[in-house]
Amino acid sequence: MQSLFFNKVTNGVIQNIRSLNSKGFHVFVTNCANIKLRRLHITAPSTSPNTDGIHVSHSINVKIFKSVIGTGDDCVSIIQGVNNVTINRVNCGPGHGISIGSLGKYQNELEVREVRVLNSTFVGTDNGLRIKTWPDKYPGAASHITFSDITMKNVKRPIIIDQEYQCSPANCNKKVSLISSSKQTIL
Tens digits of per-residue pLDDT, 25-71?
Answer: 999 999 999 999 999 999 999 999 999 999 999 999 999 999 999 99
In the chain, what percentage of residues exceed pLDDT 70? 91
| CATH at 12 | 2.160.20.10
Known catalytic residue at 96: yes
Q: Which of 26, 55, 96, 144 is catalytic?
A: 96
How confident is the model at residue 166, as a pLDDT? Answer: 75
Q: Is the pLDDT of residue 10 over 80?
A: yes
Q: Is the pLDDT of residue 187 over 70?
A: no
The amino acid that residue 21 corresponds to is N
Task: Give me the mean pLDDT over the 151-180 stretch.
Answer: 80
- Asked if residues 4 and 17 have their Cβ atoms less than 8 Å apart, the reply is yes
Q: Is the pLDDT of residue 170 over 90?
A: no
What residues pair up with 157 in beta bridges, in sequence order? 127
Q: What is the mean pLDDT of the chain?
A: 92
What does each C-alpha distance from 173 to 124, 169, 176 come to in angstroms? 32, 7, 9
16: Cα within 13 Å, side-chain hemisphere: 0
Structural domains in the chain (count): 1
pLDDT in tens, 103-120: 988 999 999 999 999 999
Q: What is the distance between the alpha carbons of residues 72 and 47, in angstroms, rounded to a whole number? A: 5
Task: Give me the mean pLDDT over the 165-177 stretch.
Answer: 69
How confident is the model at residue 104, as a pLDDT? Answer: 87
Pairing outcome for strands 18-20 and 41-43: parallel
- Residue range of the domain that includes 21: 2-186
How confident is the model at residue 94, as a pLDDT? Answer: 97
What global pTM score does this model have?
A: 0.92
Q: Is the pLDDT of residue 179 over 90?
A: no
CA 153 to chain centre: 19
Q: What is the distance between the alpha carbons of residues 48 and 73, in angstroms, rounded to a whole number? A: 7
Task: Give me the mean pLDDT over the 77-99 stretch.
Answer: 97
Q: Is the pLDDT of residue 160 over 80?
A: yes
The amino acid that residue 24 corresponds to is G
Q: Is the pLDDT of residue 168 over 70?
A: no
Q: In what order do the strands lie in the sheet with 127-133?
A: 2-7, 25-30, 54-57, 76-78, 98-103, 127-133, 157-162
The amino acid that residue 182 corresponds to is S
How confident is the model at residue 134, as a pLDDT? Answer: 82
How big is the CA angle at 116 (ends 8 and 105), to the nearest 5 degrees? Answer: 65
Does the CA dihedral 14-128-61-141 come out positive or negative? negative
